[in-house]
Amino acid sequence: MKILIVSAEVSPFAKVGGLADVAGALPKELTKLGHDVRVAMPSYPMIENDARYNVRPIVDDISICWGDGSTKHAFVKTTTLDKVPVYLVGSDEYFREAIESKKIYSSGWEPYAFFAKATIEMLKNIEPKWIPDVIHVNDWHTGFLPVYLKVNYSDDPELGHIATVSTIHNLAYQGEFDFDILAAAGLPSDLFAMDKLECYGRVNFLKAGLVFSDMVNTVSETYACEIQTDEYGCRLDGLLRHIAYQDKLRGIINGIDYTIFDPANDSAIKAAYRRTDTAGKAKCKSALQKEMGLPTKKSVPVIGMVTRLTDQKGLDLIKKAMPKLMKENLQLVILGTGDPVYEKYFTQQSKKYPEKISVTIGFNAALAQRIYAGSDFFLMPSRFEPCGLGQMIALRYGSIPIVRRTGGLGDTIFEFNPAKGNGNGFVFDKYDSKELTSAIDRALAAYADPASWLKIVGNAMRSDYSTKRCAAQYESLYKTAMDRRNTQALAA
């Protein structure tokens, strides 16, 4: 299959969260399965100007007809992700402020409508010609691509056959704008209907992608069920139930790139280690304690967190539990950025308990690796979690996840049973700070028992959540999308 994966963030070029990890890892695994895979993403200055990526221009000027009759101009540059070709689709007008990952997301709809249209037009302009069988779009930023493809190109002899797949990485972000944008985006106003792009009186980019794609998936089986409920559906649960009824919805758990996340071969960490020889992990722990300004005591369990600081991540539970947690024999190492309220709160706590909490505000991939490697536990008490990659990386580094059973966390982390010796973490159900502290108590009890600890670290490091596993499921999803597209074409 010829597959084009389209995403606003792709690791290592631009990363804000888990979407980048998946968009960076999946193309490589699909290539290993024998497919011809390419990636398209917006062209950000931080990539263009990074000598490591050896970015070259391939198309200087593509004219894009805009809704108001004006013409916009796109360029395409290229780089590679291992051997996978990456198209950087840009313009002098959009995405120019992206000089670091923090700034990649622009406000407004226009950059994303432009990117969608320009990515399709790019296919007519690159040499040698390459027309994908399937285009895989991700989250709301790319939601207009399937719409343009079906509305404007369905009669095109080459582009009209392309199947589309839309992945929901996070339903909470939908890209909602006023009705007027439809005309400006060059789309007919009759698309402003409940069964198309309209959602509660606004144009909804995510919904657009879901309605117009041949297949839809989200990033864990549990989240695929949860989003059909009022509680987790973010006002799209009715649509998602309908999509599920049409047999158009799948859940595919994400994976991580085991070559990037590998404690046996990671230049960011103090000492290498592996499941069969974890001696290096103790060195990573004391190096982390030292780096974070915490007492370098071997016996004190270190709980790590690497996270966007948003409500989604269950931070209010930690806040409630803090007085109790600070009475325990533990250290908390937090790396995160996001909501200023949480940034301030955790910074204050680290000043109040300098021997127990270290907080680093910012995005720092290398420090993140040192936290995964140097911590004993990894905390993710999320309110909701479509998949979660943090817990998978933690397992790989032998840091035991303590999580709330929601979305992908429940699909990947299983409560440790000291009697049977099975399980790879600690799990609680109710969104309640007492449940959180009781899970932490169970975790600390296991830490204090050498036999249990040996067992659980082994179980964690043996868990397999590599992208390899999910690539085959995406392969089957693409095939189904192509079959559905062909059936529709025949019916038309």
Q: How far apart are CB 212 and ligand ADP at their closest, in Å? A: 24
C-beta pairs of 147-150 under 8 Å, 24+ apart in sequence:
147/116, 147/187, 147/191, 147/197, 147/208, 147/209, 147/212, 148/116, 148/117, 148/120, 148/187, 149/120, 149/212, 150/212
Considering only residues 393 through 412, tell me which ones interact with ligand ADP, judged by CB under 6 A.
Answer: 393
Q: Which residue is nearest to ligand ADP (CB)?
A: 18
Q: How far apart are CB 63 and ligand ADP at their closest, in Å? A: 36
Q: Which of 390, 398, 410, 425 binds ligand ADP (CB under 6 A)?
A: 390
With b for 16 or more beta-carbon neighbours within 10 A and e for fewer, the 104-136 pattern comes to: bbbeebbbbbbbbbbbbbbbebbeeeeebbbbb
Say whether residue 17 binds ligand ADP (CB under 6 A). Answer: yes
Number of residues that bind ligand ADP (CB under 6 A): 18
Stretch of residues binding ligand ADP (CB under 6 A), selected from 33-41, 51-59, 84-92, 388-396: 388-396
Q: Is 114 helix (H, G, I), strand (E, B) or coil?
A: helix
Stretch of residues binding ligand ADP (CB under 6 A), selected from 15-23, 28-36, 174-182, 424-432: 15-23
Work out whether the CA dihedral 364, 13, 272, 411 comes out positive or negative.
positive
Q: Which of 103, 365, 414, 473 binds ligand ADP (CB under 6 A)?
A: 365
Say whether residue 335 binds ligand ADP (CB under 6 A). Answer: yes
Say whether residue 425 binds ligand ADP (CB under 6 A). Answer: no
Stretch of residues binding ligand ADP (CB under 6 A), selected from 143-151, 306-314, 446-454, 483-491: 306-314
Q: How far apart are CA 332 and CA 310, in angstroms?
A: 18
Q: How far apart are CB 303 and ligand ADP at their closest, in Å? A: 15
Cβ–Cβ contacts within 10 Å for residue 415, how many? 15
Given the complex with ligand ADP, which of 15 and 117 has the nearer CB atom? Answer: 15
Give the position of tokens 């079906």. Answer: 150
Say whether residue 363 binds ligand ADP (CB under 6 A). Answer: yes
Given the complex with ligand ADP, which of 19 and 446 has the nearer CB atom? Answer: 19
Say whether residue 234 binds ligand ADP (CB under 6 A). Answer: no
Backbone angle region of 84, left / alpha / beta, with phi > 0 → left and psi within -120 to 50 → alpha: beta
Say whether residue 437 binds ligand ADP (CB under 6 A). Answer: no
Q: Which of 3, 134, 300, 306 binds ligand ADP (CB under 6 A)?
A: 306
Give 157-197 as a DSSP string: TTGGG-EEEEEES-TT---EE-TTHHHHTT--GGG-STTTT
Q: How far apart are CB 94 and ligand ADP at their closest, in Å? A: 23
Cβ–Cβ under 8 Å, residues 288 and 373: yes
Q: How far apart are CB 401 and ligand ADP at their closest, in Å? A: 11
Residue from 180, 233, 236 nearest 206 by CA: 236
Say whether residue 364 binds ligand ADP (CB under 6 A). Answer: yes
Say whether residue 18 binds ligand ADP (CB under 6 A). Answer: yes
Residue from 294, 292, 290 nearest 306 by CA: 292
Residues in the chain: 492
Give contact residues for ligand ADP (rule: CB under 6 A): 17-18, 21, 306-308, 335-337, 363-365, 368, 387-390, 393
